[in-house]
Structure 1
Amino acid sequence: MYEPIRAKSVHSTMAGTTSDFPHRSREEELDIQLAGHLAALLAVTDELRAQAPSTDLDSAAERLADQVARLRGGRTPARMAAAVREPRLASLHQRAHALAGRALVVAASRADTTAAILAAQRMDAHAEALEPRELASH
């Protein structure tokens, strides 16, 4: 009715046995996830810098690049070439705010204070950029 199994299982099912495939620790998985979120935030930051240059965004981009490199073992992140597109700053700030929030959650779960502070600062900056400006009436 059923054909018997002829090959050894690829999964380790017995206690105390080691497998041949690599395993990552929870810490390594969180590092990979955090680096991904910060790299995505860096890409959006570079896009914002191309459309609305500012020293705050320049500084944030450098700090983000440093954190991504740290989490990736010194490998520098890929950076976006400055390509100016139609103005869509609000949607970029919204995307950056969401990415910074995701990075903050992962940084907090792995107790990475430096990355958590950076992510929180970026969330604040992008939230402030999204606030409607009140016009002073004189």
Structure 2
Amino acid sequence: MYEPIRRKSVHTMAGPATSDFPHRSREEELDIQLAGHLAALLATTDELRALTPSGELDTAAERLVQQVTRLRGGHRPVRTPGAPASETTAAPLHRRAHALAGRALVVAASRADTAAAILAAERMDAHDAALAAATTSTSTSTSTDQRELATH
């Protein structure tokens, strides 16, 4: 009564042997995402280092390089030595770095990468502390300026 189906349904999944494009596992996709977030954090760290050099930022940059290299299977990230800061003050860079570290932390936690998660959390704390210090120094200088204006 009905004619039998002679070809495969468009809804069936093609097997790996018949696939026209490579498939990546969830872990590989998370590795790529995490490496991307850490590489962006490294670029921002390099901008901060160019704006306000410090040993702590140098150490953080080296640790980021190690993690990105590990996640990329031994390929080191491309870096621009002495990258010029796109911002004139460090606060916007610290905010960007804090956000990037937060994204890296979420991905590292979802792939259960303890080393990357610890590094991302430490970087979040460091950038949060730098922002708090910048806010405190800004409010102190503003108060001083206001007092000077009041005395004149």
User: What TM-score, normalized to structure 2?
Assistant: 0.76
Spell out the pairing of 1:69-108 with structure 2 (5 A cutoff): 69-85=69-85, 87-108=88-109
TM-superposition CA deviations, 1:10-57 (whole Å, max 9, x none)? xx7435733231100000000000000000000000000001011110
Q: CA deviation at 1:84?
A: 4.0
Structure 2 CA distance, aligned partners of 1:39 and 1:130?
Answer: 21
Structure 2 CA distance, aligned partners of 1:60 and 1:72?
Answer: 18
Larger helix fraction of residues: 2
Structure 2 CA distance, aligned partners of 1:61 and 1:15?
Answer: 44
Structure 1 CA distance, aligned partners of 2:121 and 2:89?
Answer: 23
Does structure 1 residue 127 correspond to structure 2 residue 113?
no
Query: Are residues 16 and 106 of structure 1, via their aligned partners in 2, closer, same or farther at CA, if it must alter by over 3 Å?
Result: same
Q: CA deviation at 1:88?
A: 2.0
Where 1:63 maps in the other structure, the secondary structure is: helix
Aligned to 2:15: 17
- Stretches of structure 1 that go unaligned for 5 or more consecutive residues are 1-7
User: What TM-score, normalized to structure 1?
Assistant: 0.84
Report the aligned-residue RMSD: 2.2
Whether the 8 Å contact between 2:108 and 2:116 is mirrored in structure 1 is yes
Letter in 2 for 1:133: T
Q: CA deviation at 1:90?
A: 0.4
Name the count of aligned residue pairs: 127
Structure 2 CA distance, aligned partners of 1:20 and 1:47?
Answer: 41
Whether the 8 Å contact between 2:46 and 2:83 is mirrored in structure 1 is no
- Stretches of structure 2 that go unaligned for 5 or more consecutive residues are 1-6, 141-152
- Structure whose CA Rg is larger: 2
Query: Are residues 84 and 14 of structure 1, via their aligned partners in 2, closer, same or farther at CA, if it must alter by over 3 Å?
Result: closer
